[in-house]
Amino acid sequence: MMKLYHTELSGNCHKVRLMLSLLELKHDRVLVNLASGEHKSADFLKIDPLGQVPLLIDENTTIRDSQAILVYLARKCDRTDWLPLEAESMAKVMQWLSFAANEINSSLFIARLHFLFGMNFDWETAQQKGKQILQIMDEHLRERNWLECSSPTIADIACYPYVGLAPDGKVSLEPYPNVMAWIDRIKQLSGYERMPGLE
Amino acid sequence: MMKLYHTELSGNCHKVRLMLSLLELKHDRVLVNLASGEHKSADFLKIDPLGQVPLLIDENTTIRDSQAILVYLARKCDRTDWLPLEAESMAKVMQWLSFAANEINSSLFIARLHFLFGMNFDWETAQQKGKQILQIMDEHLRERNWLECSSPTIADIACYPYVGLAPDGKVSLEPYPNVMAWIDRIKQLSGYERMPGLE
């Protein structure tokens, strides 16, 4: 059985929980205690030298990085609806995986760390950048239901948690009606799993 | 014919130039003047709302983000050696694309921006993080020729430029012999294209 190492309040972990739930994949979950530094312990670093959650173990396969795990699950189940293989569609999905790993991670993610967990970051810059990327997403979603393609893909799942959790970083979603409608669409997917703060 | 919008000194642009060259794909190149803000002009933002290079246009398809362009080129040419489709292999490659977009981007990339272009960044933190990720890569490459699989993949191309250019950010590669051997291996690939500072 697949085993997911995760924490409750991590949006990156939630991407994976959500995907597992949407694909109805049975798995075990192991909570990792970040506060006590469990992810930086020698045992954990042996499995993942970056010392990060989420981490997925599927028999002899270990995959780190939330975006890579989404790719793994979609390919394992051969779900080309969630990850198309045609060049343009796959590259367009990939754009949003990078957007999640870079743009969202350096803005909404950072603002949330500051306000929710009291970490010392430049929250003003993070919020400002967060609003810019929400504006870009809002424009992009003006005539689309999903970030790419005609049905949800892992692009939507990769971007969803930290966008939905933007209010944790004191960034309101009210000015972005298309983003809010997209969030509601994701919440209505069959198999949707809630996370604390994003219900 | 494909058209690449790029700048000479960007490692992200070099990933794409290198891949185009390795795949022997004919294309036009358009230099974008970042110093004059051409990438933030209304015309450019119409094509790419993020205002970034590299940007690839292939007939009616526009792909932004260097990692996404690598995926596009590998899939367009159906080169499953460069981007395998099997779940584990593809996810392992994807790990390194995220590693390039996040870990390398927030360390070696930042240190280089500081020292080469005089941008005001926390270069000490960036260098320290850069050394950590070089150490992780060096361990990983101890018994491997390539980051994943038995032949080069887009994982190698995505990570290569800013690792090879680490000395621009005053991070020496000398302590990482496996990384240095890997860099040499890439330089010896048929169709390798040099970039300034990485010759």
pLDDT tens figures, B115-154: 998 888 889 999 999 999 999 999 999 999 999 999 999 9
Q: Does B140 touch chain A (CB under 8 A)?
A: yes
Asked if the model's pLDDT at residue B199 lies above 80, the reply is no
Q: Does B48 touch chain A (CB under 8 A)?
A: no
* Mean pLDDT (chain B, rounded): 94
Quick one: pLDDT at residue B51? 86
At which of B43, B76, B109 does a domain end?
B76
Is residue A133 assigned to a domain? yes
Which residues on B lie below 8 Å from A162 (Cβ)?
Answer: none
Q: Residue A182 maps to which CATH number?
A: 1.20.1050.10
Report which of B133, B158, B105 is spatially closest to residue A105, judged by C-alpha positions: B105
Q: How far apart are CA B144 and CA B151, in angstroms?
A: 10
Which residues on B lie below 8 Å from A68 (Cβ)?
Answer: 91-92, 94-95, 97-98
Q: What is the predicted ipTM? A: 0.94
At which of B46, B76, B106 does a domain end?
B76
Asked if the model's pLDDT at residue B177 lies above 90, the reply is yes
Q: Does A162 touch chain B (CB under 8 A)?
A: no
Q: How far apart are CA B142 and CA A112, in angstroms?
A: 37
Q: What's the sign of the alpha-carbon dihedral A29, A65, A151, B45?
A: positive
Q: Which domain holds residue B63?
A: 2-76
Is residue A197 assigned to a domain? no
Which residues on B lie below 8 Å from A136 (Cβ)?
Answer: 49-50
Cβ atoms of B4 and B28 within 8 Å: the answer is yes
Structure tokens at B155: 């994982």
Nearest Cα of chain B lies from the Cα of A172 at a distance, in angstroms, of 21
Is residue A193 assigned to a domain? no
pLDDT tens figures, B33-68: 888 888 888 888 888 888 889 999 999 999 999 999
Does A76 contact B86 at a Cβ distance shorter than 8 Å? no
Whether residues A63 and A148 share a domain: the answer is no
Whether residues B69 and B119 share a domain: the answer is no
Whether residues B59 and B111 share a domain: the answer is no
Q: Does A76 touch chain B (CB under 8 A)?
A: yes
Q: Does B79 touch chain A (CB under 8 A)?
A: no
Whether residues B19 and B56 share a domain: the answer is yes
Quote the crossing angle between the two packed helices A154-164 and A87-99, to the nearest 10°: 20
Which of B80, B92, B139 to substitute to test the interface with A, most A CBs within 10 Å?
B92
Whether residues A141 and A50 share a domain: the answer is no
Quick one: pLDDT at residue B153? 98
Is residue A192 assigned to a domain? no
Residue type, B186: I
- Please tell me the total count of domains within chain B: 2
Q: What's the sign of the alpha-carbon dihedral B49, B51, B53, B57?
A: positive
Beta-sheet pairing, B2-6 with B27-31: parallel
Does B75 contact A98 at a Cβ distance shorter than 8 Å? no
All residue ranges of chain A with pLDDT < 70 are none
Quick one: pLDDT at residue B135? 97
What integer is the mean pLDDT of B13-36? 95
Quick one: pLDDT at residue A50? 84
Which residues on B lie below 8 Å from A94 (Cβ)?
Answer: 65, 67-68, 71-72, 97
Share of residues in chain B with pLDDT > 70 (%): 100
Quick one: pLDDT at residue A43? 83
Quick one: pLDDT at residue B68? 97
Whether residues A32 and A100 share a domain: the answer is no
Quick one: pLDDT at residue B120? 85
Asked if the model's pLDDT at residue B8 lies above 80, the reply is yes
Which residue among A49, A102, A139 places its CB closest to the CB of B139?
A49
Report which of A89, A45, A52 is spatially closest to residue A67, judged by C-alpha positions: A52
Does B101 contact A106 at a Cβ distance shorter than 8 Å? no
pLDDT tens figures, A104-133: 999 999 999 999 988 888 899 999 999 999
Whether residues B46 and B125 share a domain: the answer is no
Q: Residue B70 maps to which CATH number?
A: 3.40.30.10
